[in-house]
């Protein structure tokens, strides 16, 4: 049923006119075999540019595999995998400029790496160490946000700051399909529209919110259409097509940068992993569904394109994999070689200057040392 139809198809009474009509467009530029469906955007005509995107996706996938291995071997805590979603992340990252601001959830490693966030920082975070969110690069970007959808008001607020300061920058906020049910999202989307703020909000629809499938999350035909009620231009894109993702993202960023206001993008993708390493998706997700999604893999798709159009071959592939693995290994080493912070550091960065009243507590922590005063504790 189309939501604009009357459910019983009853005839109109009195005067009935169409006040406004809506539609949602979906963009795909290469199909899932890697074949172009029409002309390519300018950037995609340069093979070197596409190889950059390919490299970023491969790096993210290999990082992901490594992070899961670290968790499984007790060297890191719970980790949220981005396997299958690299096209969305790299598409966003490649379209953004360094001066923009990024407000991620917890699966946007591909974007973060492109923006200069270090792999060992992400590992430190999931390894239970606050220093991971003190990015050495991209000092303006937001930390990973675990309370679902709570980062979208931040993204919109950052955009308002940019507008107030007349800066040609754009804020990008990301959320999941599940998160699009939260008030934080609706409330700030509405303000973004009302105040015409330079923000791009991306719903990463990976079809699941832990165990809740997309169709049980919302009865809406698309999640993109949530922008309509807020007067925010909105569209859908095949997020596993990194070329389309970057193209749509660039267009939205450009409009925002030129004073054209916000955009809501729904990127369709699939969570190929468990929700996190603490989850077991086999309890709720049919294995056939997962298998059926493999053919849409974003990395394989671009690889097929490069093989047919840019002389990509096994030798190049192997060289790339080796290069990425070496980069990851050195970052993992940095992570593993980082000693824990001293216990009293929990009082650091609480305020600019720690109020004197907390000194006694801090001294106690310092004096109790690494075990908190008990070897057998916790």
Partner 1 sequence: MSEITMVEAINLALARALEEDQNVVVFGEDVGANGGVFRVTAGLQKRFGGERVLDAPLAETAIAGMAVGMATQGIRPIIEIQFMGFIYSAVDQIINHASRMRNRTRSRLTCPMVLRTPHGGGIHAPEHHCESTESMFAHMPGLRVVIPSSPQRAYGLLLAAIRDPDPVIFLEPSRLYRLMKEEVIDNGEALPLDVCFQLRDGKDVTLVTWGAMIHETMQAADQLASEGISAEVIDVATLKPLDMETILTSVAKTGRCVIVHEAARTCAIGSEIAAQLAERGLMSLFAPVQRVTGYDTIMPLFRLEKQYIPSTARIMAAVKKTQEVS
Ligand X SMILES: Cc1ncc(C[n+]2csc(CCOP(=O)(O)OP(=O)(O)O)c2C)c(N)n1
339 touches, from ligand X, Mg ion, partner 1, none (C-beta below 5 to 8 Å by class): none
184 touches, from partner 1, Mg ion, ligand X, none (C-beta below 5 to 8 Å by class): partner 1
Q: Contact with ligand X (CB under 6 A): which of 179, 223, 228, 268?
A: 179
Three-state DSSP state, 138: coil
230 touches, from ligand X, partner 1, Mg ion, none (C-beta below 5 to 8 Å by class): none
Residue (311 or 376) nearer to partner 1, CB: 376
Spatial distance between the Cα atoms of 93 and 113, rounded to a whole number of angstroms = 8
Spatial distance between the Cα atoms of 260 and 154, rounded to a whole number of angstroms = 20
For residue 260, the minimal CB distance to ligand X (Å) is 27
Stretch that binds ligand X, among 5-13, 173-181, 231-239, 308-316 (CB under 6 A): 173-181
Residue (61 or 271) nearer to ligand X, CB: 271
Long-range Cβ pairs for the range 332-340 (8 Å, 24+) = 332/66, 332/70, 332/119, 332/120, 332/123, 334/118, 334/120, 335/70, 335/76, 335/119, 335/120, 335/123, 335/124, 335/127, 336/75, 338/120, 338/124, 338/129, 338/131, 340/129, 340/370
Residue (166 or 377) nearer to partner 1, CB: 377
Site for Mg ion in 140-199 (CB under 5 A): 176-177
In angstroms, the Cα distances linking 106 to 6, 114, 178, 250 are 40, 15, 13, 22
Q: 68-100 burial string, b = 16+ CB within 10 Å, else e? A: bebbeeeebeebbbbbbbbbbbbbbbbbbeeeb
Residue of minimal Cβ distance to Mg ion: 176
In angstroms, the Cα distances linking 225 to 104, 148, 180 are 21, 20, 11
| 246 near ligand X, rule: CB under 6 A | no
Spatial distance between the Cα atoms of 235 and 339, rounded to a whole number of angstroms = 46
- Rounded to a whole number of angstroms, the CA Rg of the chain reads 23
Q: Which residues contact 222 (CB under 8 A, 6 or more apart)?
A: 24, 236, 266
Spatial distance between the Cα atoms of 165 and 162, rounded to a whole number of angstroms = 5
Residue (129 or 238) nearer to partner 1, CB: 129
Q: Contact with ligand X (CB under 6 A): which of 69, 210, 326, 350?
A: 210
Residue (307 or 338) nearer to partner 1, CB: 338
Spatial distance between the Cα atoms of 215 and 206, rounded to a whole number of angstroms = 12
Pattern of binders to Mg ion over 201-240, x per CB under 5 A? Answer: -----x--x-------------------------------
Q: Which residues contact 21 (CB under 8 A, 6 or more apart)?
A: 4
Residue (146 or 229) nearer to ligand X, CB: 146
Q: Are 171 and 155 in contact (CB under 8 A)?
A: yes
For residue 206, what is the DSSP state?
Answer: -
Question: In the block, which residue shows the tokens 């981005």?
Answer: 82
Q: Where are the alpha helices (DSSP H) in 195-231?
A: 214-217
| 110 near Mg ion, rule: CB under 5 A | no
Residue (175 or 197) nearer to Mg ion, CB: 175
Residue of minimal Cβ distance to ligand X: 176
Q: Contact with ligand X (CB under 6 A): which of 84, 104, 132, 176?
A: 176
For residue 269, the minimal CB distance to partner 1 (Å) is 18
| 208 near ligand X, rule: CB under 6 A | yes
Residue (43 or 347) nearer to partner 1, CB: 347
Which residues contact partner 1 (rule: CB under 8 A)? 77-78, 125-130, 144, 146-149, 178-179, 181-184, 209-212, 216-218, 278-279, 283-284, 340-341, 343, 345-347, 350, 358, 361, 365, 368, 370-374, 376-378
| 89 near ligand X, rule: CB under 6 A | no
Residue (148 or 159) nearer to partner 1, CB: 148
107 touches, from partner 1, Mg ion, ligand X, none (C-beta below 5 to 8 Å by class): ligand X
Q: Which residues sit at the interface with Mg ion, rule CB under 5 A?
A: 176-177, 206, 209
Residues forming contacts to ligand X in the complex (CB under 6 A) are 105, 107, 146-148, 176-179, 206, 208-210, 271, 275
């Amino acid at each position: 049923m189309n939501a604009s139809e009357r459910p019983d198809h009853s005839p109109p009474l009195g005067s009935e006119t169409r006040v406004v009509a809506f539609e949602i467009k979906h963009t795909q530029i290469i199909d899932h075999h890697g074949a172009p469906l029409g002309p390519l955007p300018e950037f995609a005509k340069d093979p070197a540019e596409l190889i950059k995107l390919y490299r970023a996706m491969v790096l993210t996938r290999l990082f992901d595999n490594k992070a899961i291995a670290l968790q499984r071997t007790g060297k890191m805590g719970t980790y949220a995998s981005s396997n299958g979603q690299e096209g969305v992340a790299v598409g966003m990252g490649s379209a953004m400029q360094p001066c923009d601001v990024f407000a991620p959830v917890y699966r946007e490693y591909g974007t973060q790496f492109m923006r200069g966030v270090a792999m060992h920082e992400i590992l430190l975070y999931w390894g239970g160490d606050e220093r991971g969110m003190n990015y050495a690069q991209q000092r303006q970007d937001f930390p990973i946000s675990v309370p679902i959808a709570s980062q979208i008001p931040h993204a919109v607020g950052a955009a308002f700051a940019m507008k107030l300061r007349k800066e040609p920058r754009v804020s990008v906020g990301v959320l999941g399909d599940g998160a699009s049910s939260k008030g934080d999202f609706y409330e700030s989307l509405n303000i973004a529209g009302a105040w015409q703020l330079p923000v791009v909000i991306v719903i990463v629809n990976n079809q699941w919110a832990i165990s809740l499938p997309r169709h049980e999350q919302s009865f809406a035909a698309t999640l993109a259409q949530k922008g309509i009620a807020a007067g925010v231009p909105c569209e859908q894109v095949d997020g596993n097509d990194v070329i389309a993702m970057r193209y749509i993202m660039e267009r939205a960023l450009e409009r925002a940068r030129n004073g054209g206001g916000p955009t809501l993008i729904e990127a369709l993708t699939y969570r190929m992993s468990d929700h996190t390493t603490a989850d077991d998706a086999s309890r709720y997700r049919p294995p056939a569904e997962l298998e059926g999604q493999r053919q849409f893999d974003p990395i394989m798709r671009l690889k097929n394109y490069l093989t047919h159009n840019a002389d990509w071959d096994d030798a190049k592939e192997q060289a790339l994999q080796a290069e990425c693995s070496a980069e990851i290994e050195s970052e993992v080493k940095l992570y593993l070689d980082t000693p824990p912070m001293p216990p009293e550091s929990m009082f650091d960065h609480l305020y600019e200057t720690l109020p004197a009243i907390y000194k006694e507590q801090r001294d106690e922590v310092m004096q109790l040392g690494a075990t908190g005063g008990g070897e057998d504790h916790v």
